[in-house]
Chain A
Amino acid sequence: MTLQSSDVRDYVLLSLAEPLADSGLDPAAVPDDLDLLDAGVIDSFGILELIAGVEEHFGVEIDFDELDPEGLTVLGTFASFVAIEVQAARGG
């Protein structure tokens, strides 16, 4: 089954449910251009957790060097990149 960026987005929002709530953000209404770092949803350690989390959840190692650092913590950019990389790793 093809992995969609919306699948990655759903996983990220679920894993960040608590800090999103602490920041007063409704996961159902979070825009794709939300920068999780700038919005205070995650800190620098949260970036590490985010990367490690998606790699473990989707079972692939992803080369994030290919992604501009500015996009790393933008929800939609991150989700699209991960979906493409996971699909590529799965041979699809």
Chain B
Amino acid sequence: MSVVLRELAGDPDAARLIDVLAPGIHASGNPYFDWLFGDPDVALGVIKRCMARDSSEIAIRRVTVLERDGELLGCFIAVDGAEMARCARSDSVTALAAVGRAGRTAFLRRAAAAASLRRPIDADQWFWSKMWVDPKHRGAGLGRLIAEQVAADGDRRGFPRGRVDARPEDAHLIALYESVGYEQRGLTRTSDGIIGVIEMVREP
């Protein structure tokens, strides 16, 4: 049976998949998530809370899953750049509430260090992130399937630009993104130098 890509936006019971997909979203965003929240369990908790909110950048309704014969193979998220400001507001509230008063000072310190990490997503960009493929199914071309799907989706929806951010150490992902038309636009790092991001843009 072939691989099926299914947008969870149309699934009224998508929330049941939060616990299933959150570890993959967590893994796809690391080491950033664990660095930002200072603890893997806290990071996973914030991710689950964000996924439960429709206004979040990583809301479950924004996730597309890859399935084959009912088995979950992977997932990714794609967001209209015009929604990113609303997402930032929502996720800021969720993150601050989740880290609690005790963790707030350290979290704010790391968030300040991360402030210049990701250049803002522009309103005309189709922003792709949180690609995760189950380790059991890696090496089977699923990453390429996702990359081609995201590029086609962005074109079909009329976005003049696609955007994805890559870690400089993920050479295989950078090559994948470049293979479907993304170009490197610059490297930024957290002020402590620990986390780096390469902005990549596709202009069909």
Binding site for B on A (CB under 8 A): 37-38, 43-45, 47-49, 51-52, 61, 63-65, 67, 69-70, 72-73
From 172 to 194 in chain B, residues with beta carbon under 8 angstroms from any chain A beta carbon are none
Tell me the nearest residue of chain A to B92, going by C-beta: A47
Pick from B89, B95, B101: contact of A70, CB under 8 Å: B89
Binding site for A on B (CB under 8 A): 55, 85-86, 88-90, 92-97, 101, 104, 108, 111-112, 114-115, 120
Interface of A is mostly: helix
A69 x B89 contact (CB < 8 A): yes
Bound together, the chains give a CA A68 to CA B46 distance in angstroms of 19
Tell me the nearest residue of chain B to A35, going by C-beta: B85
B115 x A37 contact (CB < 8 A): no
Q: A49-B108, A70-B86 are in contact. Are A44 and B55 (CB under 8 A)?
A: no
Pick from A47, A63, A69: contact of B55, CB under 8 Å: A69
A73 x B89 contact (CB < 8 A): yes
Bound together, the chains give a CA A67 to CA B86 distance in angstroms of 12
Residues of B within 8 A of A47 (CB): 88-89, 92
B108 x A69 contact (CB < 8 A): no
Nearest-neighbour CB distance to chain B for A57, whole angstroms, equals 14
